[in-house]
Structure 1
Amino acid sequence: MFKDYQTSPFFDEMFTPDGKPKAHYEMFHEVIKRFSNDELKEKHETAQLSFLRQGITFTVYHNNVGTERTMPFDFVPIIIPPEEWEVVEKGMTQRAEALNRFLDDVYHEQKIIEAGIVPKHLVEDNPYYYKKQMQDVTIPLNNHIFLAGIDLIRDENGKYHVLEDNLRNPSGLSYVYQNRYVMRQVYPEFFVNHSVRTLEHQMSFLHDAILDHAPTGRKEKPFAVLLTPGMYNSAYYDHVFLAQQMGMDLVEGRDLVVRNNIVYMKSIRGLKRVDIIYRRIDDDFLDPEAFREDSALGVRGVMEAYQKGNVAILNSVGNGVADDKAIYAYVPDMIRYYLKEEPIIDNVKTYLLDKPEDREWVLEHLEELVVKNVGASGGYDMLVGPHASKELIEKFREKIIETPHQYIAQPTIKLSRAPAYQGDKFYPCHVDLRVFVMRGETTHVLPGGLSRVALKEGSLVVNSSQGGGGKDTWVFKKKEEGEDA
């Protein structure tokens, strides 16, 4: 099966450089060796059909036309030994805490700017910095980040780096569960002798974190809703799944109304007071009185109710100033400043193109680098120098010269790879990992996360909208945790 499989020059998650399975993959390797090619093909097709039957889709937009697709699934899991996961968990907890303190600071005293650690213009000129709406607003637990999705990669030495912070509306949690569900249904053999940390009770941690944000002074049990833009949103499946799993009402803007700065949900029994809104609507569309007047998705007056402390909005408004790709470069300094610690998991080296010396060097080396728009996501408006045409490189050169503050550049890291089974063969594909950090009165990191895989051979882009797929992520239990999967 793996006789033509090449590991070099990359770090491979499953195999050593000489082609032997790593210790934590040995049992898995033994199991797949027992399958015939026909059995593998059949199981692969059954897995893809399972996603289709359950309606697990996302929407890809091209020229303003949306196309529904299922997330391609690959059955070779990413397996993480417990001692390695412990480092990831600590690193993600540390990073989310520093980013939360930064958000609290920039909307209150701005000490980090006064100290000269983060340049003032990067905050003040950021389109996601909502000073007018959020200045000195007191929010429950002083917690701006209830859920973070932090993207990790591994370099050619297997060292973890943070690639990106997602602090507004991180998506993909539902796929973590569905990947595990399909894996257990279609490949039950894999779990027989493996001691994998379960996802079973993780939703209760998420739900508890939501309820922890109830406004102060409310004596009744807090009532929370999940606010969605509706069925045409690309992540709508994610919204439905999370609401169902947590037993929360899934609402659209038209289902809520604000009276005397209190938010209510319309129901057949009349109006029901809402204490917490887990919103999956971007800031701009949240309230036509505070943001875009033309928004038909949000709730008129909800920001005033929020500012007066009568309702909690999760994640908090204005988080985009902290997950901007230019601010990303300063997160290690935030960790040192707020926590007085060294970063456990560091950034990828980043060049800020509004700095003349960085820009000059980057413009001379564009064909070697990755260039990203600081405000874009999903793999859009991005240059991967070594894989780009001369025309595209020149186009990005013009963009950088015209609006240097809009772009950052990073070295092309040799992203780690793992085997993927597509089109009846195994071949190496680049992978990354989105780790979910849930924050309420305590912090909890989901064991594993969403492993994304660039299924096009040679591609570095793992986003589902750009042809990427998903894998199940296993975190092995420590020996003393018992042997039940």
Structure 2
Amino acid sequence: MDALLAHKDEINEQLARYGVKFGIYKDGNFKERLFPFDPHPRQIAADDFRQLEKGLAQRVAALNHFLYDIYHEKKIIKDKIVPEEFVYRSPGYLAQCEDITPPKDRYSHISGIDLVLGKDGEWYVLEDNLRIPSGASYPLIARTLCRRCSPATFRQHRVVDNRDYGKLLKHTMDYVNTGGINVIFTPGRYNAAYFEHAYLAEQAGAVLAESGDLFVENRKLYCHTSCGATQVGALYRRISDEYLDPLFFEASSLIGIPNLMDAYMAGNVAILNTPGNGVADDKGIYYFVPRMVSYYLGEEPILKNAPTYLPYFPEDFAFVMEHIGQLVVKDVSEAGGYGVIFGEDLTKGQLDELKAAIRTSPRRFIAQEVVDFQDMPVTEGEEIVQRKADLRAFVLTAEKPVVWPSGLTRFSRNPDSFVVNSSQGGGFKDTWILCH
């Protein structure tokens, strides 16, 4: 392991050379910065991963059932498992997608599930990402560079090979492909995750295309390639729903494909992930996922949510008002680590303001108990320090949900922070699944 740690600077230099950066818009300006890599891997024992794998597959299966249901029969609403307000008032719910059935009934083809490992040894799910979860490319390329810099490390440690992600992604796209080539649809160079779009296209043998390369004719999607106009059968979009098709969603979109949704509704192209998935990303809906597992699968949930309270319910509202100083309050409309408020950091006046906001819009917030999750070693200068870290696990669903035996471990670079998001200045690690 020491040999690998000694190559930290070299690995980060290689990552910079490959363009492994994270871009954000701040104050109206696009800024790119390196996504710092720490060579201390997160290590997960084979038996622990097997249990985690079962729980993740179960959760994603239930979420796929939920998405199909709410855009069709809405049984879970009729049976009062999920209040209709949490579906129809979610910004991720798209009424335009009602009664549209995606190829093979698959909604979330690539799911990113964020978890933390508590100091009690229990995994807790913090968030479900079913729209455009990013980050798989970072541990994928980092592992490649680590192997190159220190091959001896991987001869001494028995680690499950993670280099099959491209093959898993290709299989997922092939499974729903309606006839044609596989395309990864990027908004272009100035997108925050452009490196990933290009890298995954290479790994999966897919064509990387922007809107100018794609067009619809006779309700079929085509891509301009070196062989001429070629039909597209599966489109892995890395563009938000509202910008996908200016004739169906946001009319001002300059990065979408006119009539894409017409081709999709005709069954002539699969879109990964399916438009309308954002309703399942909603932090309010997160509260109900364990109930979905029981409702759709008839099983007990394997993975736990962090203890969560919905001010929408009177009993939860009363609890939140009384204990707000010890809770984490999240604005359901925010993402990327924004809108996360730790009650213990607020003054009495600020707590009163937060209470008033919750009282006015209880549907807008959730509150969670602070999960004391494990610290991980991080190299800082010449020292080894402990920092909070989470795990984004990736689940790819073709015939069934398959959990990639790796993942993106993100860590906070601030010793006093629980927020690990890259947009908040965090770094990342590789995740090793150990062999028996």
- TM-score bracket relative to the smaller structure: over 0.9
Alpha-carbon distance in 1 for matches of 2:227, 2:354: 57
- What value does the CA root-mean-square deviation take over the aligned residues? 1.7
Aligned to 1:433: 391
Aligned to 1:15: none
Aligned to 1:13: none
Which TM-score applies when normalising by structure 2?
0.96
Alpha-carbon distance in 2 for matches of 1:241, 1:330: 35
Structure 1 residue matching 2:288: 3-state secondary structure: helix
Native 8 Å contact 1:417 1:431 kept in 2: yes
Alpha-carbon distance in 1 for matches of 2:142, 2:222: 36
Aligned to 1:107: 71
| 1:322-341 matches, cutoff 5 A | 322-341=280-299
Identity %: 41
1:161 to 102, 120, 124: 124
Which amino acid letter does the alignment assign opposite residue 172 of structure 1?
Answer: G
1:141 to 104, 113, 123: 104
Which TM-score applies when normalising by structure 1?
0.86
| 1:205-220 matches, cutoff 5 A | 205-215=168-178, 218=179
Aligned to 2:181: 223
Alignment deviations for residues 318-367 of structure 1 (CA, whole Å, 9 cap, x no partner): 00111110000000000001000000111111111222332232133222
Pairwise CA distance, 1:385: 2.3
Native 8 Å contact 2:60 2:401 kept in 1: no
Alignment deviations for residues 171-207 of structure 1 (CA, whole Å, 9 cap, x no partner): 0010021221232234444323111000122311210
Alpha-carbon distance in 1 for matches of 2:28, 2:309: 32
Alignment deviations for residues 221-251 of structure 1 (CA, whole Å, 9 cap, x no partner): x311111111111111111110111121111
Native 8 Å contact 1:183 1:472 kept in 2: no
Alignment deviations for residues 36-84 of structure 1 (CA, whole Å, 9 cap, x no partner): xxx96x6332232222121110112221222111111111111111010
2:129 is aligned with 1:171? no
Alignment deviations for residues 256-313 of structure 1 (CA, whole Å, 9 cap, x no partner): 1111211111235432111111101110000111110000011111111111111111
Pairwise CA distance, 1:161: 1.0
2:423 is aligned with 1:450? no
Aligned to 1:382: 340
Aligned to 2:433: 475
Structure 2 residue matching 1:420: 3-state secondary structure: strand
1:126 to 81, 90, 100: 90
Which amino acid letter does the alignment assign opposite residue 93 of structure 2?
Answer: Y
Alpha-carbon distance in 1 for matches of 2:195, 2:361: 36
Alpha-carbon distance in 2 for matches of 1:228, 1:79: 33
Which amino acid letter does the alignment assign opposite residue 174 of structure 1?
Answer: S
Which amino acid letter does the alignment assign opposite residue 70 of structure 1?
Answer: L
2:260 is aligned with 1:260? no
Native 8 Å contact 1:151 1:432 kept in 2: yes
Pairwise CA distance, 1:421: 1.0
Pairwise CA distance, 1:377: 1.2
Bigger mean CA deviation after superposition, 423-432 or 95-104: 423-432
Aligned to 2:145: 182
Alpha-carbon distance in 1 for matches of 2:24, 2:373: 25
2:13 to 49, 53, 65: 49
Aligned to 2:159: 196
Pairwise CA distance, 1:252: 1.0
Native 8 Å contact 1:77 1:473 kept in 2: yes
Alpha-carbon distance in 1 for matches of 2:388, 2:66: 32
Which amino acid letter does the alignment assign opposite residue 115 of structure 1?
Answer: D
Aligned to 2:422: 464
Alpha-carbon distance in 2 for matches of 1:385, 1:183: 40
Alpha-carbon distance in 1 for matches of 2:250, 2:431: 39
Residues 1:89 and 1:183: Cα distance change in structure 2 (over 3 Å): same
Which amino acid letter does the alignment assign opposite residue 229 of structure 1?
Answer: P
Which amino acid letter does the alignment assign opposite residue 128 of structure 2?
Answer: D
2:35 is aligned with 1:71? yes
2:321 is aligned with 1:358? no
Structure 2 residue matching 1:326: 3-state secondary structure: helix
State the number of aligned residues.
Answer: 436
Consecutive unaligned residues of structure 1, counting only runs of 5 or more, are 1-30, 479-485
Consecutive unaligned residues of structure 2, counting only runs of 5 or more, are none
Alpha-carbon distance in 1 for matches of 2:128, 2:423: 18
Alpha-carbon distance in 2 for matches of 1:204, 1:305: 26
